[in-house]
Chains A and B, each alone.
Chain A
Amino acid sequence: MENLLWLVPALPFAGALILIITGTRLSRPLVSLIGVGSVGVSALLTLILGSQFLSAGPTEPVYQQVVWQWFSVEGFNPGIAFHLDALSMVFIFVITFVGFLIHLYSTAYMADDDGFARFFAYLNLFVGSMLVLVLADNLVLLYLGWEGVGLCSYLLIGFWYKEPANGYAARKAFIITRVGDTALAIGLFMLFQLFGTLHIQTIATEAPQTWAVGSQAATIIAFLLLGGAVGKSGQLPLQTWLPDAMAGPTPVSALIHAATMVTAGVYLITRMHVIFELAPTAMLTVAIIGAVTLLIAGCAALAQSDLKRVLAYSTISQIGYMFLALGVGAWSAGIFHFMIHAFFKALLFLSAGAIIISLHHEQNMFRMGGLRKLLPAVFWTFLIGSASLAALPLITAGFYSKDQILWYAMAGERGNTWLYLAGLLGAFITAIYTFRMVFITFYGAPKSHVTHPPGPIITVPLIILAVLSLLGGFIELPHNFGHVVLFSDFLTPLLPAIHANDALGTSEWIFQLVAAIISLSGVYLAYVFYLQKPALQANMEQSSLFRAVHRFWYSGWGFDKLYDTLFVRPYVFLARINKNDIIDKIYAALAAIAQVLNRSLAQTQSGILRWYMMGVVVGALLIITLSLLP
């Protein structure tokens, strides 16, 4: 059965190929069947593979499959080869399963769009590339998938390309992630230079033997890889593209910019964890980036008025948590949060999509309101997603995954109080902005009409994801509370377990209690502000300081402006200087010389026979002279 592994990425690719070639000529039901079916079968295969994988036990946890040797030059022989272990299993499960639900949802969401077939072609291409990324057994193939998802992200952000702003957002996403990709590529070159191979497992086994902990090479490479991860995952300082990426259709935001692609950075760091563990500086940097990002993005989310932008900042912030977890060495906690986040964030985006389409493409929260009665199914699923995001204690999956991160940020070997406090503060902010969003959108007086109530194809994926967002947490419970460790056990042979600081060991319940209180108080604060006493808010808006902070956070801490002054303007300035192509003059001159030579040489082809005979005779004389040279 494991021989079918290659089919998992191949099926979406085949779907994309068929849709690209014949898409416009097929009927919509057929396009849906191909688009959804290919991912659905992939998901099915993944489930079968997963069950085999689990039943095989810890002895044989890895499937290898070499599909095709790509090329072979001087020991550089990347193959199209797949590597399935616990880590990639989690990822392909999320990609295919959540991907399938989102595809299904899209058939209804995009039903009236002209680019129906194009949309599914891109989406399938994305799923295939993402699967290649996580299944690749060498870094070249990984990079191929990495760029593939970048391309699809570009295509899908700019899906409605007739709106210039969307095209701008797409280019922005592409260019900013390119900064990270360049760092990643350089990192790969260095790895190849040092190890003579880009095979991940070989590097993983050889790196600890080659480098001491903290060695310079390991640190440099870890930082370069981190650069790639930061770009892809929208972390500081390359986070600015993600809020703008919301220009794409909402299912795209759910799949690419929440559940899967943006977590590719998390995957990369986890996959190369051996190198990161050899570079403590880099590890610390990962944690700090995570902590700072989660705070900054959380604050920015507080000030947004566009529903999707709130979610976008929340995604940045939640990935910040994952980075924090990775940075303190809590690998499985990071991956666990990735999975739970994929569920509830996809749920939130899809619910938001349902609202948006119900209100005829209205995205501003302040023009919604009172939707609790009008869209009850969406309300409940959105509420569950929000609860999970805000980490409401005991009942939501988000609580268990986030609690684990906070605990290790404090008690882990690499953790410290500051990281913990940042995480805690972040959790507080998260609870506030989440329920601010809920209260503004669903409570109060209705401000717009529901024109398209969502059908079953939209609500069924929502319900499935809602169930997962609630129950997904119960496969990993803290050891003082049920002690279920299914998930970390699953990952343990692959990722090193983290040991908690024994001194804090007994007090874990205190930290859990604090986290729970923080989360609930955040919800309460939001309740007071946005539901109970809106006057408070109005009062605060009187103060100029509040307005300034609000504007600052609304603009995402002014990063766009900063980059505009630092990079874009100087670049445009230089480009303007070089408007007449100074460098190009050299080539133009070469071309002109060639033209002149051509003209003068053409004179020799005069068509006059005598001239030609002269040429032969002169040539003969020249040759004789040359041959008689001493």
Chain B
Amino acid sequence: MRLSDLYFLMPLLILVGAATLNMLVVAVKRNHKVIFGITIVAHLVAVFTLLQLNGSSYQIPPFFVMDGWGIFNLGLILLTSLFVTLLSYAYFEQREERKEEYYLLLILATLGACVLVISQHFMALFLGLEILSVALYSLIAYLRTRERSDEAGIKYLILAALSSAFLLFGMALVYAVTGTMSFPEIGVYLQSVSELPLLLLTGFGLMIVGIGFKLGIVPFHMWAPDVYEGAPAPVTAFIATVSKGGMMGLLIRFFSQADAYRYANLMLIFTIIAIASMLAGNLLALRQKNIKRLLAYSSIAHLGYILVAFLAGNRLGVEAVSFYLVAYFITSLGAFGVVALLSDTERDADQLEDYRGLFWRRPATAAVFTAMLLSLAGIPLTAGFVGKFYILASGVNTQQWLLVLMLVLNSVIGLYYYIKVIAAMFAQTKSVQERRKVLHPALSFASGGAMAILGLLLIWIGVYPTSLVQLIRGLLATFMTTF
């Protein structure tokens, strides 16, 4: 352990510090505003310290490596978490439960995801994953008086524990064959053998179970709609973004460091998963009337899209994944943000009926939601379009015609249910009396501001993607030396 290691781990340490501080403050006096402030400041400082790091690769043996990919993912996770925090304030202020621990758990979950994306060792992977998961169990079941919240919590808990048992068993098998737990050393081992031992293949296969569960891809996707529906809207946003993005970051790191792209079997598995995810996600969403479930199915499909780029297995593919993650994060945050904004004290605004005629009641909110849905559908001038275009480019580039075809086909199916929601928002209805109690305007300022920024970002990236592409290329320069 060197002193400079601390410098490089500063963003994580700040999160740890903030979590501790929150705990102490809660112990002294409960105050929503103070805790909220601390959380926001902690995120900002963490992002600030992250900006001080240059993109060069820095090893913190044996667990971590801080390189361009890690910094990109850390930045993405921290900013996303910041937005989730902003959206949470107005949401939880309306509710009876104790609000303060929520932020503590949110910080811990963020920390877990951060550990995940910079880990290059099974133990760090496992620790990151579990920090994330355990925090998420409580977050999902946070609104404990709601029956659905409990149900979502226990479902996620048992399935996550089950899948991480698979992951661990897989890791143990890989360890048994290779004798090491660090990704680069596994890569060295793989270089040395011409044919993979069966035990190792089984190990990789079992690991995919754990990874696939967190990504919410077929056939490990079934938890997603239930948990999305049951969890509080900001938490749903967090699961859809940080939890999935963190795992994606890890997956790409593992595959590139261990150079696992060479194995046709693994690629085949992911190809099947990608196609199945796209199809299942989009088909299941078709007749869905619950917005949160609809977005859950749509996220299954979107992870399928991302896997298409991941399967390209080259620099362009990783660029496409990165770009798509950014676009998808912005869009998901925006969409769930709208759900959070519209939710009232009794339940989340998750029925399609809640959105009927929204445009005539709250034009700004409806406009943002429309933009987000159009981005999810991949309509030009939004970030989603550029992202999808990027993925198609990487698929065509590596000539994976089947995947490209499925991607196009599924985009068409997807259009149907996104447009359905948009159509509902613009439908003329008899004016419904607003049920929600009106919050102090200052309270919704954070949410409103966050939504506005997200909307602008979405259009900005859609119209002028070059800036983001250049940023990603710059950060990936140190990471992608193997390609």
Q: Interface of A with B (CB < 8 Å)?
A: 594-595, 597-599, 601-602, 604-605, 607, 609, 611-613, 615-616, 618-620, 622-624, 626-629
Contacts and interface: CB of A to CB of B under 8 A. Distances in A.
B420 to A, nearest CB: 13
B283 A601 contact: yes
A627 B284 contact: no
A613 B154 CA distance: 12
A627 B225 CA distance: 28
Contacts of A626: 205, 265, 268-269, 272
21 contacts: A595-B286, A601-B284, A607-B226, A609-B154, A612-B222, A616-B162, A616-B209, A616-B219, A618-B219, A619-B212, A619-B219, A619-B220, A623-B205, A623-B209, A624-B205, A626-B268, A627-B204, A627-B205, A627-B269, A628-B205, A628-B265
Contacts of B287: 595, 598-599, 602
B457 to A, nearest CB: 23
B154 A623 contact: no
Interface of B: 154-155, 158-159, 162-163, 166, 198, 201-202, 204-206, 208-209, 212-213, 218-220, 222-223, 225-226, 265-266, 268-269, 272, 280, 283-284, 286-287, 413
Contacts of A598: 283-284, 286-287
B265 A615 contact: no
Contact of A627 (B158, B201, B212, B280): B201
B202 A624 contact: yes
A618 B220 CA distance: 10
Contacts of B159: 609, 612-613, 616
A516 B286 CA distance: 77
A611 B221 CA distance: 12
Contacts, number: 84
B226 A613 contact: no
B206 A624 contact: yes
Contact of A612 (B155, B206, B283): B155
Contact of B202 (A601, A605, A628): A628
Contacts of B201: 627-628
B286 A619 contact: no
A628 B269 CA distance: 11
Contacts of A620: 166, 205-206, 209
A618 B413 CA distance: 27
Contacts of A615: 219-220, 222
Nearest to B272: A626
Nearest to B222: A612
A603 to B, nearest CB: 10
A599 B209 CA distance: 26
A622 B219 contact: yes
Contacts of A624: 202, 205-206
Contacts of A628: 198, 201-202, 205, 265
B222 A605 contact: yes
A143 B209 CA distance: 57
Contacts of B206: 620, 623-624
Tell me the interface secondary structure of chain B in the complex: helix
B117 to A, nearest CB: 24
Contacts of B208: 623, 627
A528 B433 CA distance: 80
B281 to A, nearest CB: 10
Contacts of A602: 284, 287
Given A594-B413, A619-B212, A627-B266, A612 B284 contact: no
Nearest to A602: B284
Contacts of A601: 280, 283-284
Nearest to B212: A619
A612 B227 CA distance: 12
Given A594-B286, A598-B287, A627 B265 contact: yes
B389 to A, nearest CB: 13
A543 B241 CA distance: 88
Given A607-B226, A613-B162, A627-B205, 15 more contacts: A594-B286, A594-B413, A599-B287, A602-B284, A609-B154, A612-B155, A612-B223, A615-B219, A616-B159, A616-B209, A619-B209, A619-B212, A624-B202, A624-B206, A626-B205
A613 B158 contact: yes
A367 B206 CA distance: 94
Contacts of B272: 626
Contacts of A619: 209, 212, 218-220
A616 B165 CA distance: 12
A615 B226 CA distance: 15
A624 B226 CA distance: 27
A73 B59 CA distance: 43
Nearest to A604: B222
A594 B413 CA distance: 8
Nearest to A618: B219
Contact of B222 (A594, A597, A611): A611
Nearest to A591: B416
Nearest to A626: B269
Contact of A623 (B225, B269, B283, B413): B269
Nearest to B209: A620
Contacts of B268: 626, 629
Nearest to A607: B226
A306 B212 CA distance: 78
A626 to B, nearest CB: 5
Contacts of A597: 283
A609 B283 contact: no
Nearest to A620: B209
Contact of A616 (B154, B202, B205, B220): B220
A605 B413 CA distance: 19
Q: Which 5 pairs, one residue from A and one from B, show the smallest C-beta to C-beta distance?
A: A619-B219, A627-B205, A612-B222, A624-B205, A598-B286
Contacts of A616: 159, 162-163, 166, 209, 213, 219-220
Most buried by B among A604, A613, A623: A623
Nearest to A612: B222
Nearest to B282: A594
Contacts of B212: 619
A595 B413 CA distance: 11
A358 to B, nearest CB: 46
Contacts of A599: 287
A629 B272 CA distance: 14
Contacts of B219: 615-616, 618-619, 622
A614 to B, nearest CB: 9
Contacts of A605: 222, 225-226, 284
Most buried by B among A594, A598, A602, A620: A620
A344 to B, nearest CB: 48
A597 B416 CA distance: 15
A513 to B, nearest CB: 66
Nearest to A617: B162
A602 B284 CA distance: 6
A612 B201 CA distance: 25
A627 B202 contact: yes
A1 B160 CA distance: 72
A605 B209 CA distance: 19
A609 B158 contact: yes
Nearest to A619: B219
B97 to A, nearest CB: 24
Nearest to A609: B155
A605 B155 CA distance: 13
A622 B269 CA distance: 9
Contacts of B283: 594, 597-598, 601
Most buried by B among A597, A598, A619, A628: A619
A25 B340 CA distance: 38
Most buried by B among A604, A607, A611, A624: A624
A353 B199 CA distance: 93
A598 B281 CA distance: 10
Most buried by A among B166, B206, B219: B219
